[in-house]
Every structure is written in C-alpha cells, then in structure tokens.
C-alpha cells in the first residue's frame, strides 16, 4: 500500500531552478515587445503583439514558474516523487520554453506555421505534465484539500490548453475562423481555474505555516475550490445556452470567490504571530490587494455603466495578483533549496568521516539579502501602479510603466541568478573535497 511512499526531501536543484530562473526572462521579453511597439499596443487586447505579450507572461512567466513549483512541492506536500526528475523536467521545460517563444513569434511575425509549431509543443508539454502529475496526485496518501484542488487546477489547465489550441488553429488555416467568444472561456479557465485555484491550494498550506497564522476556516478550505470549479463549468455551459442574466450572476459569484479568498488571506496575515516584516508576506498582501482592486473596479464600472480600459483587468489579474504571488514565493523557494542541497553535501562529507572538510552553509538571508528582495518588491509595486494607470492614460504612463516593469523583472532575474551562482561556487568547493 505504501510502496510509493517517499518523504525524500527534494528533486535535484536544477529541476525547479530552471523553471524559476526562466520566468523573469519571459517577463523581460514581454517588456521588450511592449517597448518595441509603443503605447498603441494597449488599445485592444486583440492586437496580435498584445496577445504575444499576454502569452509571454501567462505561459513564459506563470505556467513556467507554477509547473516548476509543483515539481518541487508535490514530493513535500503529497509524498509523491516523480521518477527520473531531471529527465522529466527537461521534457517539460524545453518544449514549454520553445512553445511560448514560437507562439509569441507567431503573433509578432504573423507566420502561420509558427502557430502550428506552438500548438504541438505546448500541447505536448501540458498533456504530459498533467498526465504524470495527476497520476502521482491520485496515488498520494495525502487527504488534504490541496490535493483535490491541485487535481482540479490540472483539469483546468488541460481545458485551457485545449481551448487555446482550438483558438490557435483559427490562425493556421484559411477557412477556420477564430472563435473569439471562446477566448473568454479560455482565459476564465486559465486565470481562475488554473492560476487562481493553484495559488489558493498552495496558500492554504504556506500562509499558516510560514507566516505562523491561524488556518483558513474549514468551510473556506472545503468549499471555495469546488464552488469556483462548478461556477466555471456553469459559465462554460452558458456558451451553448447564452443567457445574459445567468452569465452576469455567475460573474458576480466568481468575483465573490476572489473577494472571499483575498479578504480572508489579508485577515489571517493581519493576525499573524510573526511580527517580523517579511518580504514574501508583502508580496502576498500586494497580490490580495490587486484582487480586491480588480473586483471593486469591475463592480463599480458595471453598476455605473462605465466601460473599463480593455487591459486594466488583465494587468490586475496577471501582473498584480498572479505574478506578485509567484514572485514572493520565489524568495522562499530558491534560498531554501540552496541551503537544503548544500546541507546534503555536508552530510555526505560527515558520513565519509571527513567532518573537518565541511563548508559552513550560509543561512537564507546570505543567499538572497533581505534588502535585495525588498527593493525588488518596491519597484514591482510601483510598476504595477503605473501599468494600471497606463491602461487608462497610455500617452502619459506607458513608457515609465513598462520601463519600471522591465526593471522589476531584471532585478528579480538578477537576484535569482546571484543565488544560483552562489550555489554553484559553494558546490564546486564542496565537490573539490569530496
């Protein structure tokens, strides 16, 4: 029964690291495309270069870091190790990088065949990942709600990818019209069913544990994920039976899910037992504030009958909520893993009876200094405010916003690469004596 049970600590460092370090590279690429095209790009979300930017962020930054984090977290949270982790992560990482690049290039260069390449690469990546991860999750002995929610999130990822491939097919052929109505379903499943669901599932575990707060209420944990999933299913059915009233109602209920999660998280953090100002916690707070802003702005616009700038919602959801939460998590994951792997090397030395040759393993604040993370947070925060303003007044805010966003992504990349280089140097020192 427990033949597969392993509480092994972690896959090799390169497995999650390659995904997490790739993410801000795609953030920088998105900024470059924005700068190249100038303020006109944000007039519509249907602009091909804007679609390229959106997917550089959702695939290149978000899917990239979230798949990497799942590979790292599943052994810890579920006790399930993925066999041959280095090989598996290459099989996922390489086509994800190439697929994201070819999809963006397809829109930027308007080459039809590149859409086909992207469809094949990304379809392969997500199908293989979902299959392997779902099989592992189904066999886990863990009965925590996180397991169920990760499975729901994977299902949503598969639906998002399927809809995305169907939509991309519209660009490949002459006769195949792009079905724009389906785009809303594609992005609802992607941003709510996959991204938001997974962030919730992870938050249920990491917020109480790392910030030392109370648990999320039982009803919240048990029902919110399922409610979200059922609402998305209902929303999908309205595509076949379009009832405007029902669609509006579902929209309100989905917004309520976002709001409940955001407010509950802020409340827990407000009452946390750690009084230490922690950078990752600031990222969590900003992510939740973005969700709340998103719900309120859309709510007010709906009641007052105002049409919102096309990209404001996207900025708040993708950059404001999702990228912020992931960015904060990176500052815990990367330094801890480096510490963990260096400690394991030292243990090898101790076991070999060569205690005196051990290297002092630096603590996490020596790997990424607290101030480096804090300043990157401040720049990211400022970039978000300016990006939101730029969707309303592009002539004024576009260039400062994009430049600051590029700076925040560059700074994140610098912090992560510094940590990886530090690990490389220490590991070489340890290998030399082994």
Partner 1 sequence: MGIKNLMAQDHRDCDRLFSEAENAASTQDWEKARQAFQQFVQAMDRHLGIEEQVLFPAFEQETGIVTGPTEMMRMEHEQMRALFDEMAAALEREEADDYLGEAETLLILMQQHNMKEEQILYSIMDQRLDADVDNWQQKFQEWNRA
Task: Give the 3-state secondary structure of the chain.
Answer: CCCCCCCCCCCCCHHHHHHHHHHHHHHHHHHHHHHHHCHHHHHCCCCHHHHHHHHHHHHHHHHHHHHHHHHHHHHHHHCCCCCCHHHHHHHHHHHHHHHHHHHHHHHHHCCHHHHHHHHHHHHHHHHHHHHHHHHHHHCCCCCCHHHHHHHHHHHHHHHHHHHHHHHHHHHHCCCCCCCHHHHHHHHHHHHHHHHHHHHHHHHHHHHHHHHCCCCCCHHHHHHHHHHHHHHHHHHHHHHHCCCHHHHHHHHHHHHHHHHHHHHHHHHHHHCCCCCCCCHHHHHHHHHHHHHHHHHHHHHHHHHHCCCCCCCHHHHHHHHHHHHHHHHHHHHHHHHHHHHHHHHHHHHHHHHCCCHHHCCCCCCHHHHCCHHHHHHHHHHHHHHHHHHHHHHHCHHHHHHHHHHHHHHHHHHHHHHHHHHHHHHHHHHHHHHHHC
Min CB(44)–partner 1 separation in Å: 44
Candidates 57, 74, 77, 322; binder of partner 1 (CB under 8 A) is 77
Q: Candidates 21-29, 115-123, 361-369, 418-426 — which segment interacts with partner 1 by CB under 8 A? A: 361-369
Contact call for residue 205 and partner 1 (CB under 8 A): yes
Residue 357 binds to partner 1 (criterion: CB under 8 A)? no
Q: Is 270 in the site for partner 1 (CB under 8 A)?
A: no
Stretch that binds partner 1, among 89-97, 139-147, 217-225, 301-309 (CB under 8 A): 139-147
Among 181, 275, 428, 431, the residue binding partner 1 under the rule CB under 8 A is: 275
Q: Measured from the CB atom, is 123 or 362 closer to partner 1?
A: 362
Q: Is 340 in the site for partner 1 (CB under 8 A)?
A: yes
Binding span for partner 1 by CB under 8 A among 17-25, 98-106, 300-308, 338-346: 338-346
Instruction: Compute the least distance from the CB of residue 216 to partner 1, in Å.
Output: 15
Residue number with CB closer to partner 1 (45 or 366): 366
Q: Does the protein bind partner 1 through residue 425 (CB under 8 A)?
A: no
* 141 touches partner 1 by CB under 8 A: yes
Applying CB under 8 A, the span of 121-129, 209-217, 258-266, 407-415 interacting with partner 1 comes to 209-217
Instruction: Find the binding residues for partner 1 in span 109-128 (CB under 8 A).
Output: none
Q: How far is the CB of 83 from partner 1 (least distance, A)?
A: 17
Among the listed ranges 26-34, 289-297, 359-367, 381-389, the one in contact with partner 1 (CB under 8 A) is 359-367
Structure tokens at 175: 């006769």
Does the protein bind partner 1 through residue 366 (CB under 8 A)? yes
Task: Tell me which of 86, 87, 138, 212 binds partner 1, using CB under 8 A.
Answer: 212
Minimal distance, residue 143 CB to partner 1, in Å: 7
Interface positions with partner 1 (CB under 8 A): 2, 5-9, 76-79, 141-144, 205, 209-210, 212, 273-276, 332, 335-336, 339-340, 343, 347, 362-366, 370
């Amino acid at each position: 029964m427990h033949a597969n049970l392993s509480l092994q600590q972690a896959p090799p460092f390169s497995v999650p690291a390659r995904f997490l370090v790739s993410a801000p590279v795609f953030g920088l690429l998105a900024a470059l495309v924005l700068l190249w095209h100038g303020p006109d790009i944000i007039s519509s979300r249907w602009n091909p270069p804007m679609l390229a930017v959106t997917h550089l962020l959702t695939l290149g930054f978000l899917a990239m870091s979230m798949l990497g984090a799942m590979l790292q977290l599943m052994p810890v949270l579920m006790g399930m190790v993925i066999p041959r982790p280095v090989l598996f992560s290459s099989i996922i990482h390489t086509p994800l990088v190439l697929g994201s690049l070819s999809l963006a290039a397809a829109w930027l260069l308007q080459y039809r065949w590149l859409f086909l390449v992207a469809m094949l690469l990304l379809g392969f990546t997500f199908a293989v990942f979902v299959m392997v991860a779902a099989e592992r999750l189904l066999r886990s002995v863990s009965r925590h709600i996180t397991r169920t929610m990760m499975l729901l999130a994977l299902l949503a990822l598969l639906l998002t990818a399927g809809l995305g491939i169907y939509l991309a097919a519209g660009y490949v052929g002459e006769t195949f019209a792009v079905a724009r109505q389906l785009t809303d379903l594609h992005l609802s499943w992607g941003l709510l069913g996959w991204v938001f669901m997974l962030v919730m599932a992870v938050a249920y575990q990491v917020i109480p544990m790392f910030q030392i707060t109370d648990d999320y209420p039982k009803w919240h944990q048990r029902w919110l994920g399922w409610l979200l999933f059922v609402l998305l299913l209902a929303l999908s059915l309205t595509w076949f039976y379009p009832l405007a009233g029902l669609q509006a109602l579902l929209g309100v209920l989905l917004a309520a899910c976002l709001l409940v999660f955001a407010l509950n998280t802020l409340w827990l953090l407000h009452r946390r037992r750690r009084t230490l100002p922690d950078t990752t916690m600031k990222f969590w707070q900003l992510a939740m504030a973005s969700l709340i802003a998103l719900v309120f702005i859309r709510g007010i616009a709906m009641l007052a009958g105002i049409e919102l700038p096309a990209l404001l919602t996207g900025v708040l959801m993708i950059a404001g909520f999702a990228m912020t939460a992931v960015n904060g998590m990176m500052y815990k994951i990367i330094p801890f893993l480096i510490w963990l792997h260096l400690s394991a090397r030292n243990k090898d030395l101790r076991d070999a009876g060569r205690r005196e040759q051990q290297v002092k393993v630096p603590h996490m604040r020596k790997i990424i200094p607290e101030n480096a993370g804090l300043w990157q947070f401040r720049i990211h925060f400022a970039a978000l405010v300016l990006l939101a303003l730029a969707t309303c007044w592009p002539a004024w805010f576009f260039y400062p916003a994009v430049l600051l966003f590029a700076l925040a992504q560059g700074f994140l990349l610098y912090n992560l690469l510094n940590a990886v280089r530090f690990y490389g140097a220490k590991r070489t020192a340890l290998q030399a004596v082994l």
